[in-house]
């Protein structure tokens, strides 16, 4: 009985550890000054987003000059029309962190006048939970399959992942 409980505890701990370390902080655009009007289509944040994967629990991090710009989370309609008047959420602290709590699309536009119209916007699509366990699902778009499995802050995430696996092996060793 005691052995069973010990096993169960190990499993629960392992599960919690893996779940927690799985969440990542993803720097938008992969660099600090990326929240700005893109110089070209290929430089746009949506290009970057298409090549990244976002999962429930990940956080997006923006770094920008809070005196000049802001991050507005908006509806699909406001995103399309660059309507800054009634955002879902407004962030202008210069270091914005938004946790992606559910799957589906998230829409962000710049609150600086005229910036959204010139392409400073971001659409992030968070994969549904089953993707977490499948790796690549049959329904994945080509961009998902070709894109890096881990988004730009990946070295830290990869280290963490490696650490999880190591710890997992250690915990399983208790069995
Ligand atoms: C922007 O959105 C607000 C409410 O969300 C709406 O009242 C307003 O008419 C919209 N403006 C434009 C130009 O569409």
Atom of ligand 1 at shortest range from CA of 86: 5
Residue 118 alpha carbon to ligand 1 centre in Å = 19
* CA dist., res. 118 & res. 82, Å (int): 10
Question: Domain residues for 114?
Answer: 2-173
CA angle 162/130/151 to nearest 5° reads 45
pLDDT value at 174 more than 80: no
Q: Which helix H or strand E contains 72, and what residues bound it?
A: strand 71-74
Token pair belonging to 75 = 């509806």
Token pair belonging to 139 = 């329904």
Residue 111 alpha carbon to ligand 1 centre in Å = 14
Q: What is the pLDDT of residue 15?
A: 63
Q: What is the pLDDT of residue 85?
A: 96
The residue contributing the CA closest to ligand 1 atom 11 is 83
Q: Give the total number of structural domains in the chain.
A: 1
21-76 per-position pLDDT tens digit:
567 999 999 988 899 999 988 889 999 999 999 999 999 999 999 999 999 999 99
Atom of ligand 1 at shortest range from CA of 81: 14
96-128 per-position pLDDT tens digit:
999 999 999 999 999 999 999 999 999 999 988
Exposure class string for 76-106: b at 16+ Cβ within 10 A, else e: eebbeebebeebeeebbebebebebeebeeb
Closest by CA to 109, choosing from 118, 121, 100, is 121
Residue 72 alpha carbon to ligand 1 centre in Å = 14
Cα→Cα distances 25→3, 20, 75, 115, 129, Å: 37, 12, 23, 25, 18
Q: What is the pLDDT of residue 7?
A: 77
pLDDT value at 150 more than 90: no
Residue 70 alpha carbon to ligand 1 centre in Å = 19
Q: For the whole prediction, is pTM greater than 0.85?
A: no
Q: What is the CATH number of the domain that holds 22?
A: 2.60.40.420
């Amino acid at each position: 009985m005691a052995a069973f409980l010990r096993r169960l505890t190990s499993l629960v701990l392992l599960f919690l550890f893996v779940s927690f370390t799985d969440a990542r902080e993803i720097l938008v655009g992969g660099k600090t000054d990326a929240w700005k009007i893109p110089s070209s289509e290929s430089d746009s944040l949506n290009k970057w987003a298409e090549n990244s994967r976002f999962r429930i629990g990940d956080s997006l991090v923006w770094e920008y000059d809070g005196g000049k710009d802001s991050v507005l989370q908006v509806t699909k309609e406001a995103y399309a029309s660059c309507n800054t008047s009634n955002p879902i959420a407004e962030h202008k602290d210069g270091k914005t962190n938004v946790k992606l709590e559910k799957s589906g699309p998230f829409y962000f536009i710049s609150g600086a006048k005229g910036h959204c119209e010139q392409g400073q916007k971001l659409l992030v699509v968070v994969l549904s939970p089953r993707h977490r366990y499948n790796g690549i699902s049959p329904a994945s778009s080509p961009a998902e399959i070709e894109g890096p499995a881990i988004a730009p802050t990946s070295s830290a995430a990869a280290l963490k992942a490696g650490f999880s696996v190591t710890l997992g092996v250690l915990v399983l060793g208790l069995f």
